[in-house]
Structure 1
Amino acid sequence: MHQRRILSRIADLVKANQSTGNVIGGDSTAINPGLHNNVDPLNAPSDLLESHSTDPIQAERIAMADPNTFSIKGLPLSYFTVLINQWGGSDALNGLTTTEVCEQFLKPMTKQSGLSLCAQLYLEANNPISSVSRDAKWFISHAWKYKFLDVVSSLFHFAQKHNLDPATTIIWFDLFSNSQHNTADKPFEWWETVFMNAVKSIGNVIMILQPWNDPIPLKRVWCIFEVYASNVTKSEFHVAMTPADEADFLAQLKSNITHFNTVLGNVDSRKSDSWNPSDRDAIFNVIRQTVGFVALDRLVFETLSEWIVGALNQLIHSSSPNIRHLRWKGALGNFLRLQGRFTDAEPLLTEVFTLRKKLFPMSPDTLQTMSDVALLYQLQGKFTESEQLHLECVSSRQKLYGPDDTIVLVSKSNLALLYQSQRRWDDAETLTAESLQSWLRIAGLRNTNTLACIHNLAQIYEAQGRFTEAEYLLVESLEVRKEMNGTDHPSTLITLGTLSTVYESLGKFQEAEKVILEKTSIWIGSSKYSDTIHNLAMTLFHTRIFEQSEVYFREALKGRLLVLGVGDGQTLASVNGLAFVLQSTNRADEAKTLLSKSIENAINSESPTFPAIVSSLNVLASIFQSEGNMVETEQVYLQSLEMRKNLNDQDDNQIIVALNNLAFLYQSSNRDQDAEALFEEVVEARERKLGAGHKDTLEAMKNLAIHYQVEGRLVEAEVVCRKRLESFKNLLGPDNSPTLEAMTMLGVVLYKLDRFTDAEPLFQEVLARREQILGNHVAHSLL
């Protein structure tokens, strides 16, 4: 019942359709419709409500005299200075935290009344209308361990930047707005209501961010909850810093935007803390039953990210077109690139690069922007444009700095990563090996860049099937990483992850399991633990070790249900994995029951993840299909496609999977026209989603071309095959295996059309290139 009321209040707040509540002053749509905490807020007697509505000022006075009633009264920012002077000036408060100021100055000041300072000042005034305590418009989110004077300095700096008059800027600051004499006696419902009501009624949240590179509020459960509340209530979110912190922050924005993505990416609400463990437990229960930890982390990340984007846009618009203006645009473009917002990032970065190259073609800033644009193109799949810029950047930096300068080696590593993404393994290996020799010569083995280069080379070996060589590199570098960074450092964990996949490829499953369990040991109790246990279960499943795989899937599912809830995509991923194990161990009925119930629960949850629901439906359909139950298979796939209306992305990958699988189902049932329409739709969707040159698009084109051939529509098949071949040539070059396979496929279609003179040169080219790559005997066997 306790949790149901919390959920009910949050829902009421979002809908904003409740009657007058116990927020004294301000918006009358606040949640918790009762005047006192000792009155059931869901069943407040009407006569009590009416008795306080006849005289608003008297009602407010009576309510504020009750320390258990929440008021949105705050103090003018200018009055903070009055209090500081009253308490002995800045020298007396220097170095004191907000907690210490509360104990030494605030509590003695309000001890007799037992009220908040705002209530005390309001009730002391002869005329409440002229009281210094007024309805607040700015809610302050802060950590009590902050230095009190730093908080005040941040607020005055914020007011100056936004042209706010301190005399009329009314601040809701819990030190002053809440009674500090009975905080431990309040139940969680009161505190949860305080936050939600305050944020909704006040309308603006200012988070004091300190230090900017490791913000304390992002580790405090109440501060994270306040970010959540600002989103739920659609309040404006702001950030304030001291002048010194802001100057350092702006300098880092221009020089190292990557750091901010790392800081925000490390937000983990499940690890947040509170001085009162019961508060933490109660908030965690609300998070589990509403938004979920992963979604809350994402929301905090997105909220602060949007604030950074807004801050950069403000700096761009407030600066005249000059070098500084370009730097802000470049910083914004790179921040958007790091967040995957490539469409927004491209015009900014290309504009900055074009102007810089025109004015200062060989300056370090120009070459850095060239590298940034090359990385952006690489992420967008514009490999030709990316390679040209990477090559130019390497050449220019070599001229400027010399061949062994670290920045030159970084550029070479970026180019090698491009070659890896194109599967140009020989080029990637040559460049990475050269860079590794340089790093070893310049910096030695115990260097972050050297170890990164070793890891990249190991991945290249792994991709080529050279697992023993990859294993050697990873084992050697892993020990160094542990010594340098510890076992829980991200780079160590990444190396462990890669090593586990290499062990799997070598058939060393016991070693792989040991490595994965070592990786997960530091994450017990967190979502990352469940993630890694899930991955271990997948590994064991693929190696047909079903009994142990089932144990780990069940453990991962249990953890994800607890942390994420029934509607989360990762929870359903564990459901899917467990269902596959059950099917593989002749328990298909149990698998279908598990999937059906999980899908139903997810659809009915408060935050359903529809792409994941579609994925689970696809798994359920595949089980029906494996049993030969084509009617049920079709119905479930059609149900998947019905979910399309619930998706923001109509071309979500799971929808395309359903379309593709249903097309094959129709093809096997001789429903050729239905199959053809779906195969064509898959190609169109893949092109819209991924582009014409993506491997998944090219695979969809292959399926369509084969279907055209089966139907005898060879002319249409030729058109698709030619387009596919050109894409492979542009993407991978003429000698790559997929290119040669596409060339062979086109030759076969031309042969079937009796166009032997067109088919013959294609077959000859394929044979010649395969002889060159593989040798004469192997090439003939593959043709």
Structure 2
Amino acid sequence: MASRPPPLSLQGVSAAGLRKFFQELMDEFVDRDTDKLRALTTADTCNTVVLPRTKEKQCAFLELMDPEHIGTATVFVSHAWRYKIADVLATMVEFAEEEKRHGRPEPYFWFDLFMNNQNIAADLPQDWWSTTFKESIAAIGKVLLVLTPWSNPIPLTRAWCLWEIFCGISQEGVELAIRLPQHQHNALGQALLDDADAITNMLVEVQAGKAEAWKPEDKEMIFQAINSTVGFTQLNKAVKDQMRAWCLRVAQTFVTDMERKGATDTDSYALMCSRVGSVMTSFGASEAAIPLHETDLRVTLARHGPKHAGVGVAYNNLGTAHSGSGNLDKAAECFKKALAFDLAVHGHNHESTGITLNNLGNTLMQKGNYDEAIRYYAQSASMLASLSDSRARKHLAQALNNISQAYSKKGEYAQAIDFSHRVLQIRRATLGEQHPDVAASYVSLGTFYDAKADYDQALVYLHKALDIFSTILGASHPHTGSAFTQLGNTLVSKGQLLEAIKMYAAALQIHRKTRGEDDLSTAMCYNNIGTTLVKMGDPTRALEYFTNAVHIKERVLGTEHPETASSYFNLGSLCFQQGSVARAREHFNRALRIQQRALGEDHPSTAMTLDNLALVAAQRGDLAAAIAHTRRALHTYTRCMGSAHPYTQRAQRNLAEFAAMAQRAQGFGSQSSATVTATQNLLLRFLCAVAK
């Protein structure tokens, strides 16, 4: 009978022991080769120091260390053996000093170079890693992940480290602390001042399935442990969530470090606030970005006055942050201030003015003011068309594309198609056929032809887009997933629901793999599958997908965001179809409150919710409320989309039928069976017609 593998040693070494060991390294190498000491990796240290010293006793290095530096391990160190040993040791010591500053007990580090017997190669079974190893980390209670270099952190590419990280974050009561060596932390801060995308670029795509190990058998063992417990999808999501949270924290420290040093009236401080605010916005933390951009604006105005270029940038950044947080009125206000600045300082024929016009148009489009948005987009396009450089051509194509999207929102698909072809012409001329932006134009054209009910032409363009995305970006890229999504939409329009489900499932698989579970693209996939299942007569399964979508939006955007409101709307529609009128009314009212506050009363999304609340009211016999809701919806549809739009015409028909029902009910003194039947027919005809 095979003996049970030994438990992981739970001893650790103190910061004093680490300092002593590093001093011994310096004593050994400094006289002979200082450069070699600086280049020494953990693996080198094992081969040149640890193994020679422990060979005679065939023991772990820990057994040769001074007992006064040994104690019960409280921190498990996750690192890569390719790291410079000086970086690893320095990070542990810096962490110990940080703990001391916060009044916490002295940490003892479980560091595999010291704790494991490097003279023997343990051949441990897979279940040891998925049970004993995890239990040992839980007993230690904290994992310190050492990241370096900042621009491409090695641990996120190493199977060992990913497994160690997961063993920490997947267990209740285990804390994960992520640290850069101090010189790397400083380098990242400087890089962020130089490039706004420094931190977002450093967050590499975590793909546990592509991680490597020094030994093929180690990789096989770790992959078996992953597959038998959580699976790669869950591991990727867990690690990405931790990295995202860490990126936000480390970005904020660059601001607080400057504040602690009293450098709050400098250009560098204003720039750092701007950069960190942009990081917050790009990571979905728009609320946290707003005060940072406000600080940037205040300092820039105080130091340079209202005509400094940074003032326009700050207003644009503020507008973007407010838009991301769902406050579109405030976003529009900021973009209008940015526009006034650009016109006063740069004039009409300047790229910055064109970009601001486009930003303002985007916000007005989100608010449902499509005609006003088109005017700003057109001004942007006209100005950018007068500029000849490649950046201006790129922004011109985007402005024209936005015009096409606005016309599509108005239901004027011929105009949308015309502008979309102009965008395609520019992009093909400047970028060539095999380019993602060209594929994006094909997606737009496919969408518009779908809306015109020319499904075959739509599929031609969408398949072109899918071919380009798959070839250029790969079969698992998010843009490829989006092309699958639009193909699914068109197949739904054609009535090929089973084929559509396959397209949506392919998109869901891609987005979960590349972006994780908590991403809006993943939420959209769940929503699309749910909507299609409703059409297929499977509301029970649809409810599961709609619930997944709303939970993602609540986690990512919060419970008061317009996108979250759209999921409440879908849940209301589904409950309505299932006959749960009270629950439907609850979901619709929740969506309506958010939309009225964030989007305003006269927004198409608000009108759609009122449309369905009218159906709920009619089902409950409250025809007065049904008529009032429909009138409000009709007013918004007419203003935003025009009298010829299908939503406007449907609202007109609904209003006429509700009025007729009310008249018949008045004649009978109560709601007659004929009125009930008419109401139910309306519900069947219009229910979920406006599902988003």
Which structure 1 segments of 5+ residues have no match? 1-36, 42-62, 600-609, 619-639, 667-673, 755-783
State the partner residue of 2:669.
none
Among residues 401, 410, 435, which one is paired with 2:355 in the alignment?
Answer: 410
State the partner residue of 1:376.
321
- C-alpha distance in 2 between matches for 1:570 and 1:724: 30
Among residues 142, 148, 159, which one is paired with 2:79 in the alignment?
Answer: 142
- C-alpha distance in 1 between matches for 2:637 and 2:222: 53
Question: Is the contact made by 2:511 and 2:522 (CA closer than 8 Å) also made in structure 1?
Answer: yes
- C-alpha distance in 2 between matches for 1:437 and 1:311: 42
**Larger radius of gyration, structure 1 or 2?**
1
Question: Is the contact made by 2:137 and 2:167 (CA closer than 8 Å) also made in structure 1?
Answer: yes
**1:198-209 alignment runs, 5 A limit:** 198-209=136-147
State the partner residue of 2:265.
323
**1:63-462 alignment runs, 5 A limit:** 70-74=9-13, 76-89=17-30, 90-118=34-62, 120-121=63-64, 130-159=67-96, 170-183=108-121, 185-192=123-130, 196-233=134-171, 234-253=173-192, 256=195, 258-264=197-203, 266-288=205-227, 290-311=229-250, 314=253, 315-316=255-256, 318=260, 320=262, 322-323=264-265, 333-346=277-290, 349-350=293-294, 353=297, 360-425=305-370, 427-429=372-374, 431-432=376-377, 435=380, 442=387, 444-445=389-390, 447=391, 450-462=393-405
Q: Which amino acid aligns with 2:87?
A: D
State the partner residue of 1:701.
610
C-alpha spacing 1:209/1:391, structure 2 compared with 1 (3 Å): same
User: Cα offset for 1:178?
Assistant: 2.4
Question: Is the contact made by 2:362 and 2:373 (CA closer than 8 Å) also made in structure 1?
Answer: yes
State the partner residue of 1:767.
none
User: Cα offset for 1:535?
Assistant: 5.5
- C-alpha distance in 1 between matches for 2:119 and 2:328: 64
**Cα offsets for 1:477-506 (capped at 9, x unmatched):** 2575469xx86xx76775665465467566
**Cα offsets for 1:78-97 (capped at 9, x unmatched):** 13313422541343323243
Q: Which amino acid aligns with 2:159?
A: V
C-alpha spacing 1:720/1:141, structure 2 compared with 1 (3 Å): same
- C-alpha distance in 2 between matches for 1:307 and 1:551: 36
User: Cα offset for 1:390?
Assistant: 1.0
**Cα offsets for 1:698-717 (capped at 9, x unmatched):** 32222333555687756545
User: Cα offset for 1:392?
Assistant: 1.7
State the partner residue of 1:39.
3
Among residues 660, 684, 708, which one is paired with 2:573 in the alignment?
Answer: 660
**Cα offsets for 1:365-407 (capped at 9, x unmatched):** 4433322221223334443332232122122134334544444
- C-alpha distance in 1 between matches for 2:517 and 2:264: 52
- C-alpha distance in 2 between matches for 1:496 and 1:278: 46
State the partner residue of 1:543.
494
**Cα offsets for 1:556-583 (capped at 9, x unmatched):** 7899999999999969968985995998
Question: Is the contact made by 1:139 and 1:198 (CA closer than 8 Å) also made in structure 2?
Answer: no
- C-alpha distance in 2 between matches for 1:84 and 1:549: 64
Among residues 583, 587, 592, which one is paired with 1:687 in the alignment?
Answer: 592
State the partner residue of 1:636.
none
User: Cα offset for 1:354?
Assistant: 5.8
Question: Is the contact made by 2:13 and 2:109 (CA closer than 8 Å) also made in structure 1?
Answer: yes
State the partner residue of 1:470.
420
The TM-score, its normalising length taken from structure 1, stands at 0.64
Question: Is the contact made by 2:278 and 2:317 (CA closer than 8 Å) also made in structure 1?
Answer: yes
- C-alpha distance in 1 between matches for 2:85 and 2:588: 61
Question: Is the contact made by 1:393 and 1:411 (CA closer than 8 Å) also made in structure 2?
Answer: yes
C-alpha spacing 1:526/1:79, structure 2 compared with 1 (3 Å): farther
- C-alpha distance in 2 between matches for 1:159 and 1:103: 27
State the partner residue of 1:612.
545
- C-alpha distance in 2 between matches for 1:562 and 1:733: 38
Q: Which amino acid aligns with 2:494?
A: T
State the partner residue of 2:682.
none
Q: Which amino acid aligns with 1:323?
A: D
User: Cα offset for 1:215?
Assistant: 2.2
- C-alpha distance in 2 between matches for 1:576 and 1:734: 27
C-alpha spacing 1:685/1:539, structure 2 compared with 1 (3 Å): same
C-alpha spacing 1:711/1:255, structure 2 compared with 1 (3 Å): same
Q: Which amino acid aligns with 2:138?
A: K
- C-alpha distance in 2 between matches for 1:431 and 1:681: 38
Q: Which amino acid aligns with 2:610?
A: M
**Cα offsets for 1:574-607 (capped at 9, x unmatched):** 89859959987xxx8xxx6xx98x89xxxxxxxx
Question: Is the contact made by 1:333 and 1:348 (CA closer than 8 Å) also made in structure 2?
Answer: yes
- C-alpha distance in 1 between matches for 2:243 and 2:517: 27
Q: Which amino acid aligns with 1:297?
A: N
State the partner residue of 1:774.
none
C-alpha spacing 1:182/1:477, structure 2 compared with 1 (3 Å): farther
Question: Is the contact made by 1:690 and 1:697 (CA closer than 8 Å) also made in structure 2?
Answer: yes
SS at match of 2:29: coil
Q: Which amino acid aligns with 2:591?
A: R
- C-alpha distance in 1 between matches for 2:524 and 2:428: 33
- C-alpha distance in 2 between matches for 1:376 and 1:138: 38
C-alpha spacing 1:334/1:94, structure 2 compared with 1 (3 Å): closer
C-alpha spacing 1:298/1:350, structure 2 compared with 1 (3 Å): farther
- C-alpha distance in 2 between matches for 1:323 and 1:739: 54
**1:588-667 alignment runs, 5 A limit:** 612=545, 614=547, 656-663=569-576, 666=579
The TM-score, its normalising length taken from structure 2, stands at 0.72
Q: Which amino acid aligns with 1:84?
A: L
**Cα offsets for 1:211-253 (capped at 9, x unmatched):** 3233222222332333322322343333333443222322344
C-alpha spacing 1:259/1:321, structure 2 compared with 1 (3 Å): closer
- C-alpha distance in 2 between matches for 1:746 and 1:583: 22
Aligned residue pairs: how many?
Answer: 623
State the partner residue of 1:32.
none
State the partner residue of 1:621.
none
- C-alpha distance in 1 between matches for 2:404 and 2:432: 22
State the partner residue of 1:781.
none
SS at match of 1:73: strand
- C-alpha distance in 1 between matches for 2:490 and 2:655: 39
**Cα offsets for 1:728-771 (capped at 9, x unmatched):** 79x959999699779979997999899xxxxxxxxxxxxxxxxx
User: Cα offset for 1:686?
Assistant: 0.7
- C-alpha distance in 2 between matches for 1:566 and 1:374: 28
Q: Which amino acid aligns with 1:236?
A: E
C-alpha spacing 1:543/1:680, structure 2 compared with 1 (3 Å): closer
Question: Is the contact made by 2:146 and 2:179 (CA closer than 8 Å) also made in structure 1?
Answer: yes
State the partner residue of 2:671.
none
- C-alpha distance in 2 between matches for 1:542 and 1:660: 19
Q: Which amino acid aligns with 1:227?
A: I
SS at match of 1:140: strand
**Cα offsets for 1:52-110 (capped at 9, x unmatched):** xxxxxxxxxxx7xxxx8544433532133134225413433232433333334333333
Question: Is the contact made by 1:478 and 1:496 (CA closer than 8 Å) also made in structure 2?
Answer: no
Q: Which amino acid aligns with 1:249?
A: L
**1:500-539 alignment runs, 5 A limit:** 501=447, 507-508=456-457, 509-521=459-471, 523-524=474-475, 533=484, 536-539=487-490
